[in-house]
Amino acid sequence: ARSFADIGDIIRGKDLFIGYDKKDRNEKAKLQENLTKIFNEIYKGLNKTIQSQYNGDTTNYFQLREDWWALNRLEVWKAITCGAAGGTYFRKTCSKGESHVNDKCRCVSGDPPTYFDYVPQY
């Protein structure tokens, strides 16, 4: 994954990257297999009423994955941005430029600074 959007696509099973070679394709297949196992566990933890909303989508759990991403994307974003270490990268942008971001990932208001739109992503 190279960006936040790529992570969302991978989790939702919509990643368009096929792979450069057989090794890439095998790694992608293994990742999707692991995600299917994870979402199988999530599915099994749901009550029967909620399970019925997925109409038997128990092969790839695409709808459950969509729903999970919709509910958790903000938390994933927080994890990515708060994990972005680097002393000089964090600069005074909060409180009209008067203070650094709180705990190096959020302004006092709770919002990430705007320059986090450009967080280097792996």
Q: Please state the domain extents for the chain.
A: 4-82, 87-122
DSSP codes joined into one string, 104-119: TTB-TTSPPPGGGGG-
Lowest mean pLDDT across 7-16, 75-84, 98-107: 98-107
Dmax over Cα atoms in the chain, in whole Å?
A: 54
pLDDT band, very low/low/confident/very high, at 76 (cuts 50, 70, 90): confident
pLDDT band, very low/low/confident/very high, at 40 (cuts 50, 70, 90): very high
pLDDT band, very low/low/confident/very high, at 101 (cuts 50, 70, 90): low
- pLDDT at position 30 is 93
Q: Which residues pair with 102 in a beta bridge?
A: 106
Query: Does this model's pTM top 0.75?
Result: no
- pLDDT at position 88 is 53
Rounded alpha-carbon distances, angstroms, from residue 86 to 20, 26, 89: 31, 34, 5
- Output the average pLDDT for the chain: 77
Q: Which residue has the tokens 């109409």?
A: 55
Gap between the Cα atoms of 116 and 91, Å rounded: 11
Q: How far is CA 79 from the centre of its chain?
A: 9
Find, among 115, 91, 122, the residue nearest to 104 by Cα. 91
Query: Over the stretch 53-74, which tens digit does the pLDDT of each residue have?
Result: 998 888 999 999 999 999 999 8
Gap between the Cα atoms of 65 and 72, Å rounded: 10
